[in-house]
Amino acid sequence: MTRIDENLTEADFIAFEFATPESADKAEKAFPADFVRSTGTTVEYRAMSLIPGIRKKLEAAGLSWSESESSITEEDMWPEWPEDGDDSRMAP
């Protein structure tokens, strides 16, 4: 089982890879509501202090997984919006 140190990583998100989509479905219960499900077997969450608690919940559920640095960034999740008065990027 590969683990990422959430305190040392430069990544914004950590990807938790499970063996099957069913395992990933079960794992979702261990994550706060703002997780990202990027594929059938991958659940991604922000690299922050909640990670150890998530790991404990996954272990208690009897799940196994691998972790990697995700390519998702905060900018992907929260794109910049036009400044007030700049409607040039707004849809008609």
Least trusted range by pLDDT, from 3-12, 17-26, 80-89: 80-89
pLDDT for the residue 41: 95
Residue 83 has pLDDT above 80, yes or no: no
Q: Provide CATH code, domain 13-72.
A: 3.30.70
Supply 20's token pair: 């099957």
Q: Taking the model in full, what pTM does it have? A: 0.78
Sequence ranges of the domains in the chain: 13-72
In the chain, which residue ranges form alpha helices assigned H by DSSP?
21-27, 51-60, 74-77
Q: Is 15 in contact with 45 (CB distance < 8 Å)?
A: no
At residue 86, the 3 state secondary structure works out as coil
8-state DSSP, 29: G
Gap between the Cα atoms of 28 and 41, Å rounded: 11
